[in-house]
A and B are shown apart, each in its own frame.
Chain A
Amino acid sequence: AQSVTQLDSHVSVSEGTPVLLRCNYSSSYSPSLFWYVQHPNKGLQLLLKYTSAATLVKGINGFEAEFKKSETSFHLTKPSAHMSDAAEYFCVVSFTGTASKLTFGTGTRLQVTL
Chain B
Amino acid sequence: QVHIVQSGAEVKKPGASVNVSCRASGYALTKYAMHWVRQAPGQRPEWMGWINPDNGKTYYSQTFRDRITISRDTSAATAYMELTSLRSEDTAVYYCARETNWGYWSFDLWGRGTLVSVSS
Q: Do A and B come from one complex?
A: no
